[in-house]
Amino acid sequence: MHLKHLTISGFKSFAKKSELEFSSSITAIVGPNGSGKSNVAEAFRFVLGEQSPSKMRGKKGEDLIWGGSDQVSRGNRAAVSVLLDNQKRVFPLDFDEINLERVVHRDGQNEYLINGSVVRLKDVQEVLAAANIGPSGHHIISQGEADRILSASNKERREMIEDALGLKSYQYKKVEAEKKLQKTKENIEKVESLRREVAPHLRFLEKQVKKLERAAEIRLKLRDSYSEYLKREDIYLAGWQDRISTLFDPLTTKIKEIEGALANARNILESKKHDVKRDQLVSAERALSSTREAHQSLLREVGALEGQITFIERHIAEKESKAGDTTNINIPYADIDKLVTTLEKDTQNSLKSDDISHLRRSLGDLVHSLRQFLARAIERPENDSSEKLEYEELKKQKEELDKKLKTAEAEVNVAEQAYQEIRSSIESDQSESRDAEREVFRLINDRREAEAELSRLEFEKSGIERDREDFKRELQEAVALLGRDATLYLEYKVDATKAEIEKEDRTKQRDRRHELEKLKIRLEELGGANVELEQEYKTVKDRDDFLEREIADLTLSVSKLEELIVELEAQLDERFGEGITKISAEFNRFFALMFGGGEATLSQVKIESRKRKGELDDEESEVEEIQTGKTETGIEIGVKLPNKRVKGLDMLSGGERALTSIALIFAMSQVNPPLFVILDETDAALDEANSRRYGDMIEALARKSQLILITHNRETMSRASILYGVTMTGDGVSKLLSVKLDDAIAVAK
């Protein structure tokens, strides 16, 4: 037995604590009208969590509390507890017995307790739902409620049948899943809206951070480019500075040496100046020309004298030819010998001189001497002595002059010799000067070349120094831009040898520098590091990522919930379909049993889906339904009475309706037997024959479910093992007593 015990205290007419034991499968509660029997059924509804006061014939919670009578004052609380057996763990709690208790206070506050612990209504409902005891209370059929299932709409009927089939837990899960789905979708919307709100800011930050990242990349590139550029420049400048300084000193030394040699050569040149010798040459020239003039004048004198002599001789000869034939004349040998000796002597003297004029004169003298000899030979016979004397005189003068001429000739020779000596001395001096001059020229040239080389070196040196200054400036700029990273160039390994770097075309290094400039400009455009912005981006991004994950999780939940709902709907449909088939068969069987034939069926029909507006589950409240545009399944009942043409529920009599609904209730309880069924005067409208059939069905039902029957029916009472009588005396308080069947029949009356 699942239902073990019920305690009612202060509930409705049970002002005092009343207890009922349910130790058998059928318990009947009997008593006169108004004694409080239905209050017992309502006590069950109450303790099982019924929320609608109207289902317990009240308007509000306070109506459920003992209202007081003339004899017994009203109570402040109503309490009902039910003890359930849980040895088979039909309820999901690890206790063999579960005591559910509900208390309602005058202020309408409710308390729920499970095994003495205060819990929420939801907890109670969950515990009961596990045993298919749902809030619709399909297993508690109140008085006059028997044909409720017949008068219900197709949709309500479906709900009742679902409840009876134990599909409420599925429904409950489905509703829960739908609520969760709705909530999750709302959450997604909220989170998406949060993301949408933050998106523009995030995009802005993203752009900024991308810029920062690009700047960082460019910084790295700049760092590497700087390293290569600075390293190459450093190597290049150091190499060239070394080279220039090694060339510089020898070159200045060389120039000094050249200047020394040049000074020396100039001194030599100075010493070879020949002004003195030129004066000597001039005076030698003068001496030479004066001696020559003296000699020439002597020659002219001699010539004149010789002309006179020749004239006289010709005159004498003419006289002599006139005087005689000169063909044969006798000349003494001594004279001829004397002539020859004289001629020999003169000739020898003349031959000593190289001077042609001297020779020429000597020849003239020789001819003259011969002419005189001949003249003298012819003149031997002397005819004019004065002419002869003049002639002789002239001869003497000429001899004198010849002597002078010889002296003058000697003087000319001496002057010529002196002149030649000075001249050749000057010529020799000139040759030495030319050599010295050439040396000076060579040295000047050498010096010019060395100086040109030096100035080229100096030019290069100043170029290198300028480049070094540029290098320092560039390094400072690199430090300003890169901080300590700028010094990384010191360790940078250039992919080239020192010699290659030094020889490299400078345009390449200029190109590198140009590249650096471009990088610097790009870096400047992108702006510097911004830690705060990065931090803010990280925070906003983290939040956005979190929201994105949240949406992903929620979306996953949505699809899982949708899957669950689809699955639950499929299970519901399947179980519902199976259940309907079974219930329909049982319904038909019970119906035929009740009516001794005929047919009864349940069939599924499609109805338009409607949903309640608002969440109030209170029947009293105005419930508005709205169309959802979807269709759902409803349940239609078809009946055909035996031997009657009557079809359809509307054509049934009151008793027939009662029997039909009992058949259906029993069919439902048969397919999915509830733990207990409470039937409040369901049998009221039955005649004797039907009461027996009802009694049979009760017994059949009791094999699967514990039954509590509120009844006035003797037949029904006779099927119960335990009978409780409810009485109410003048104080308005219901009292319970265990009774025997006969007593019960008496009490019921």
DSSP class of 9: E
Helix (H, G, I), strand (E, B) or coil at 10: coil
Kindly state the smallest distance separating residue 144's Cβ from ligand ATP, in Å: 9
The CB-of-14 to ligand ATP minimum distance in angstroms stands at 9
Q: How far is the CB of 86 from ligand ATP (least distance, A)?
A: 29
Q: How far is the CB of 652 from ligand ATP (least distance, A)?
A: 24
Q: Does 18 bind ligand ATP (CB under 6 A)?
A: no
- Nearer to ligand ATP among residue 212 and residue 748 (C-beta): 748
Q: Round to whole Å and give the CA distance between 237 and 195.
A: 59
Distance between start and end Cα atoms, the chain: 30
- Write the CA distances from 5 to 1, 23, 85, 101, 475, integer angstroms: 10, 8, 9, 12, 98
| Cβ distance to ligand ATP smaller for residue 39 or 690 | 39
516 Cβ contact list (under 8 Å, min separation 6): 222, 225, 226, 229, 474
Stretch that binds ligand ATP, among 29-37, 205-213, 288-296, 361-369 (CB under 6 A): 29-37
The stretch among 63-71, 387-395, 442-450, 595-603 that binds ligand ATP (CB under 6 A) is 63-71
Buried b / exposed e along 65-101 (16+ C-beta atoms within 10 A): bbeeeeeeeebebbbbbbbbbbeeebbebeeeebbbb
Least CB distance from residue 67 to ligand ATP, whole Å?
A: 3
Per CB under 6 A, 643 contacts ligand ATP? no
Angle at 407 between CA 406 and CA 412, to 5 degrees: 95
Output 70 or 491, the one with its CB closest to ligand ATP: 70
CA distance linking residue 670 with residue 672, whole number of Å? 6
User: How far out from the chain centre does Cα 326 lie?
Assistant: 151
Q: Does 61 bind ligand ATP (CB under 6 A)?
A: no
Q: Of 35 and 372, which has the nearer Cβ to ligand ATP? A: 35
- Shortest separation between residue 728's beta carbon and ligand ATP, angstroms: 6
Q: From the CB of residue 355, how many other CB atoms can be counted at a distance below 10 Å?
A: 15
Residue (19 or 318) nearer to ligand ATP, CB: 19
Q: State the Cα–Cα distance between residues 667 and 189, nearest whole angstrom.
A: 47
Q: Of 32-40, 160-168, 546-554, 615-623, which part binds ligand ATP (CB under 6 A)?
A: 32-40
Q: What is the residue type of 283?
A: S
Interacting stretch for ligand ATP, rule CB under 6 A, among 36-44, 150-158, 257-265, 309-317?
36-44
Q: Which of 7, 9, 27, 39 binds ligand ATP (CB under 6 A)?
A: 39
CB of 40 to ligand ATP, least distance (A): 7
Shortest CB 32 distance to ligand ATP, Å: 7
The H or E element that residue 489 is part of is none
When the beta carbons of 12 and 231 are compared against ligand ATP, the nearer one is: 12
Is the CB of 364 or the CB of 732 nearer to ligand ATP? 732
CB of 560 to ligand ATP, least distance (A): 49
Q: Is the dihedral of CA 693, 698, 699, 704 positive or negative?
A: positive
Q: In the set 9, 18, 25, 38, which binds ligand ATP (CB under 6 A)? A: 38
Segment near ligand ATP (CB under 6 A), from 37-45, 207-215, 534-542, 648-656? Answer: 37-45
Q: Read off φ and ψ for residue 113, nearest 5 degrees.
A: -135, 140
What is the residue whose two structure tokens read 């499929």?
A: 570
* Shorter beta-carbon distance to ligand ATP: residue 63 or 224: 63
Closest-by-Cβ residue to ligand ATP is 33
Q: How far is 288 from 56, CA to CA, in rounded Å?
A: 181
- Positions 679 through 738 that interact with ligand ATP (CB under 6 A): 732
Q: Which residues contact 486 (CB under 8 A, 6 or more apart)?
A: 223, 226, 230, 475, 478, 479
Tokens of residue 107, six digits: 């202020």
Q: How far is the CB of 106 from ligand ATP (least distance, A)?
A: 11
Residue 134 binding ligand ATP, by CB under 6 A: no
Q: Which of 74, 97, 142, 102 shows the shortest CA–CA distance to 8?
A: 102
Residue with Cβ nearer ligand ATP (29 or 501)? 29
List of residues 6+ apart from 31 with CB closer than 8 A: 37, 725, 726, 727, 728, 747, 748
Least separation in angstroms between residue 37's CB and ligand ATP is 4
Q: Which helix (H) or strand (E) holds 286?
A: helix 275-323
Smallest separation, CB 21 to ligand ATP (Å): 20
One DSSP character per residue, 114-173 reads ETTEEE-HHHHHHHHHTTT--TT-TTEE-TT-TTHHHHS-HHHHHHHHHHHTT-HHHHHH
Closer Cβ to ligand ATP, 72 or 722, answer by number: 72
Segment near ligand ATP (CB under 6 A); pick from 33-41, 208-216, 229-237, 518-526: 33-41
One of 34, 303, 463, 648 touching ligand ATP (CB under 6 A): 34
d(CA 308, CA 302): 10
CA quadruple 201, 202, 204, 205: dihedral sign: positive
CB neighbourhood size of 602 (10 A): 24
Binding mask 472-491 for ligand ATP (x = CB under 6 A): --------------------
CB of 38 to ligand ATP, least distance (A): 3
Instruction: Give the nearest distance from C-beta 188 to ligand ATP in angstroms.
Output: 50
- By beta-carbon proximity to ligand ATP, the closer residue of 52 and 413 is 52
Q: Return the number of the residue (31 or 579) whose C-beta is nearest ligand ATP.
A: 31
12 binds ligand ATP (CB under 6 A): yes
Rule CB under 6 A: say whether 144 interacts with ligand ATP.
no
Answer yes or no whether residue 35 interacts with ligand ATP by CB under 6 A.
Answer: yes
Nearest CB to ligand ATP, comparing residues 15 and 128 = 15
- Pick from 2, 4, 37, 376 the residue near ligand ATP by CB under 6 A: 37
Closest to ligand ATP by CB, 56 vs 339, is 56
CA distance 294 to 518: 100
With CB under 6 A as the contact rule, the residue among 16, 21, 51, 67 that binds ligand ATP is 67
Query: Which two three-digit tokens encode residue 148?
Result: 């409720």
Beta carbon nearer to ligand ATP, 32 or 638:
32
Q: Which is nearer to ligand ATP, 105 or 461 (CB)?
A: 105
* Candidates 35-43, 517-525, 557-565, 662-670; binding stretch for ligand ATP (CB under 6 A): 35-43
444-463 residues near ligand ATP, rule: CB under 6 A: none
Site for ligand ATP in 181-220 (CB under 6 A): none
Q: Does 143 bind ligand ATP (CB under 6 A)?
A: yes
C-alpha distances out from residue 508 to 89, 514, 518, Å: 91, 10, 15
Tokens 């409620």 identify what position? 145
| Contact criterion met (CB below 8 Å) for 362 and 347 | yes
CA dist., res. 303 & res. 309, Å (int): 10
Q: Does 13 sit near ligand ATP (CB under 6 A)? A: yes
Cβ nearer to ligand ATP, comparing 78 with 222 = 78
Please answer whether residues 676 and 4 qualify as being in contact, where contact means their C-beta atoms are separated by less than 8 angstroms.
no
Residue 106 makes CB contacts below 8 A (sequence gap 6+) with 62, 65, 76, 77
CB 611 within 8 A of CB 626: yes
Residue 60 or 647: which CB sits closer to ligand ATP? 60
36 binds ligand ATP (CB under 6 A): yes
Binding site for ligand ATP (CB under 6 A): 12-13, 31, 33-39, 63, 66-67, 143, 732
